[in-house]
Structure 1
Amino acid sequence: MNQRRPAVVVLAAGRGQRFRGEGHKLEQVLNGDTVLALTLRQTMASGLPMLVVTSTALAPLVRRHVASRDMLVLPDQDRLGRPAPLGMGHSIAAGVAATGDAPGWLILPADMPMVRPSTLAAVADAIERDPIAYAQHRGRRGHPVGFNAELFSELTGLQGDEGARRLLARYPAQAVDVDDPGVLIDVDTVEDLQRLKVDPSMPRPSDLGLRTFGG
């Protein structure tokens, strides 16, 4: 059995433009800590290797919780001084390239603080057998999404906001059923944050986990 474990690539480079409150959504306080801190705590508890892909603006927040070796700060500009590419696809590609010796990768947005460590471990186990696996709660697709090492070149070729849509259309994906509503819960808006404060076990009714497949 392969003793190495897939790496969790935590995506914390987005601007969070849909969050209309004060400050970035990852800085918001929930259950006595920030959204980012809760996501990272759950990830660390899984025992899986982790890399946080972040921006220059959010790097100070990330450094409060992880060592420099466990984070990748995306540049604001390329070598010619032009604005560097942004988007989920670019973040995934950079994170996977930086952990290229891993036997697979779990992609987890940093604004999903309720995903349980056991769920991360279950998806990690699944990609030892299948090229792609994703967490599913009561028939609804969610995060994380896992990819095994044979998809390295495909993942590092992602760009912009395309996310994993192209890969999920080309390769079979295995659903991993988990008793974890957190796989459907993100903090994308002020309303999402308030809903979690009232009842942290409830995803928004309209959330079908579309970001998993659409980027």
Structure 2
Amino acid sequence: MHLIPPTVLILASGRGERFKASGGSVHKLQALLAGKPVLQHTLDAVRASGLPWHVEDVGHPGMGDSIAAAVRHTVSAAGWLVLPGDLPLVQPATLQAMAQVLLDRRAVVAWPELAGERGHPVAFGRDCLPDLLALQGEKGAAPVVRKWAEQGRGLAVPVHDEGVVTDIDTVDALARAEALWRQRHAAG
């Protein structure tokens, strides 16, 4: 029996205000990283993972609203990997590993961890559907993660992918991501 993988929800509807306040002249998802927009790097990683995906790029009041809307658009999915569009260095293998945690049913909620720091994408099983659909406001899915983790159905997945914690919120963060990108590609 072939299991259907979860769908990657790429969140691309934020306003990017911190990036602009830090001196950015364009929206952070359109800022260039190694000559290509940040969002394009994220989409390339998702496509390379082979997982189904959905981009949520309609303006919403907060991250919770964006996640709920994306889940509504993919309500029949086997589960969801919530990935902010400003994580251009996330590796396709990490996306596949997070999907596999849900497929193995080792958890209802799982998050990647790099050296003790929680990252994205956060993986949610079908059991989370009502909670995800009810999200609103700025907090994102943190309450859902907390609920399921407190029930012993959450799992931290150790990864060796700095891309899970390298989000582009400021011009300085973009410069750090560019340096990491150069290191990664110089190493081959």
Q: Which has the higher helix share?
A: 2
Task: Report the secondary structure of 2:18's partner residue.
Answer: coil
Provide structure 1 residue ranges, at least 5 long, that are not aligned to the other structure: 56-73, 75-84, 203-215
8 A Cα contact 2:42 2:90, kept in partner = yes
Partner of 2:145: 168
Equivalent residues in 2 for 1:56-71, closer than 5 Å: none
Q: Cα deviations across residues 9-49 of structure 1 (Å, max 9, x unaligned)?
A: 00000000001210101111111210010000001110000
Aligned mate of 1:41, from 32, 38, 44: 44
Task: Report the secondary structure of 2:113's partner residue.
Answer: strand
- State the structure with bigger RCO (CA 8 A, min sep 6), 1 or 2: 2
Provide structure 2 residue ranges, at least 5 long, that are not aligned to the other structure: 184-188
Q: Distance in 2 between matches of 1:146 and 1:198?
A: 28
Q: Which amino acid aligns with 1:36?
A: L
Q: Cα deviations across residues 107-148 of structure 1 (Å, max 9, x unaligned)?
A: 000000000000001111112311001111122211110000
Partner of 1:206: none
Partner of 1:17: 17
Q: 2:91 aligned with 1:88, yes or no? A: no
Partner of 1:112: 87
Give the fraction of aligned pairs with identical amino acids, expressed as a percent: 44
Q: Distance in 2 between matches of 1:201 and 1:141?
A: 24
Aligned mate of 2:30, from 20, 27, 31: 27
Deviation at 1:151, TM superposition (A): 0.8
Task: Report the secondary structure of 1:26's partner residue.
Answer: coil
CA-atom RMSD, angstroms? 1.5
Q: Which amino acid aligns with 1:14?
A: G
TM-score by length of 1: 0.77
TM-score by length of 2: 0.88
Deviation at 1:197, TM superposition (A): 2.1
8 A Cα contact 2:89 2:177, kept in partner = no
8 A Cα contact 2:34 2:181, kept in partner = no
Q: Distance in 2 between matches of 1:201 and 1:146?
A: 28
Q: Distance in 2 between matches of 1:40 and 1:185?
A: 15
Deviation at 1:97, TM superposition (A): 1.0
Deviation at 1:160, TM superposition (A): 1.1
Equivalent residues in 2 for 1:133-152, closer than 5 Å: 133-152=110-129
Count of residues in correspondence between the two structures: 174
8 A Cα contact 1:43 1:117, kept in partner = yes
